[in-house]
Copies of this chain bind each other. A is one copy, B any other.
Amino acid sequence: MPSVRAIASQLKVSPATVSRVLNNHPDVDEATRERVLARINELGYVPRIGRRITNVIALAYPDEPVRSEYGAFEPALLSGIMRGLEEQQFDLKLLSIRRDKSPDETFTQFFLRKGIRGVILRCFRTNRSTICRIAEEGFPAIVVASEFDEPAVNFIRADSYPSSRQAVEHLIGLGHKRIALAMHNVPDSDHADRRRAYDDALFCAGLKVDPALVMELPASLSAGEQVLDTMTSLDDPATAIFATNPMTALGVMRRAQERGIDVPRQLSVVGVDDSDVRTHVWPRLTAVTQNAASLGLEAANWLTQTIASNASRPSCRRTIATSFEINGTTGPAAVPSRERGSRATGRRGRP
């Protein structure tokens, strides 16, 4: 377990210099800084207070400290993380990278300066490259709720493919043939899963994917409203909508109520839920649900155990399952207009 002094003596510099490098003090020569940093990375320095090593991990947000736009996702995640930290007795710090990181320090420096042993990362559209850089530096890190192709990036996420497929098949089973898909307009792995599930389910049922039924929009209430308006005003309107994020689903519901469209009689809606907003509306939303708390718990567990067992360059590419919950917003397809009418069963589907 290398200390500042150990590194210093190896490099034939003084402990003061190593400390200065770690704390990003300006008055150290660039070449020296590089050398020290390289050795620190190589030997795997861990921060200490006095003689005790710090057991602190961080939850780091890229820009804004904490986003509340996702509703109860963040508190559920935090709650899970805190529980996951319990076992190895770690503490949790909240970090905002934009706020605290100086542009001319490395991420490793930044985290060590904050006395952090490992970091849980939240990924938004803006910071995928940031996350890749952190992973390259080799600092213990895990991304929660996003997928990465880069092998260096550890992540844990929920795979929504099976549940999403279940969802679409549920709709098909209820006789729906015109099923709309409301996607996020920024491609990410979660939404790719859902798209794939949609395509596959339709294909296996012998249905064609109609591009007119697929929309890509931001994740927001108003996007959901737009989806509903568009999909109901088609020549051959949708009889069901699968909205792949919570806000869009809520927007669809709200607008349907506003326009007096009876859900699920006239239109079925399936959403995705991170927490429990699906229970906030009536009828309760049929939805693909992912458990943010267990994501947090597993991430924290993996990270602390990795740190404790100080494995070098460990890998975590875990997906946990989402589930599909049938509630009140899905029902048999409305009997289509006469000419194709004989196929619809009209039987009220009991889940």
Contact A68 B75 (CB under 8 A): yes
* A282:B253 contact, CB within 8 angstroms: yes
Interface residues of A in 255-276 (CB under 8 A from B): 255, 257-260, 275-276
Contact B258 A283 (CB under 8 A): yes
State in angstroms the CA–CA spacing of A96 and B75 once bound together: 14
- Does A93 have its Cβ within 8 Å of any Cβ on chain B? yes
Report whether B68 and A82 are in contact in the complex, using a CB–CB cutoff of 8 Å: no
Chain B residues near A66: list those with CB within 8 A. 75, 78-79, 82
How far does the Cβ of A62 sit from chain B's closest Cβ, in whole Å? 13
Number of copies: 2
A277 interface residue per 8 A CB criterion: yes
A125 within 8 A of B: no
- Whether a CB of chain B sits under 8 angstroms from the CB of A71 is yes
- For A64, list chain B residues within 8 Å (CB): 79
Cα–Cα, bound, A49→B76 (Å):
32
Q: 1/0 per position for A194-231, CB-CB distance to B under 8 A? A: 00000000000000000000000000010000000000
Q: Which 8 A/B pairs are nearest by Cβ-Cβ distance?
A: A260-B349, A65-B82, A254-B282, A68-B75, A74-B75, A66-B78, A257-B282, A66-B79
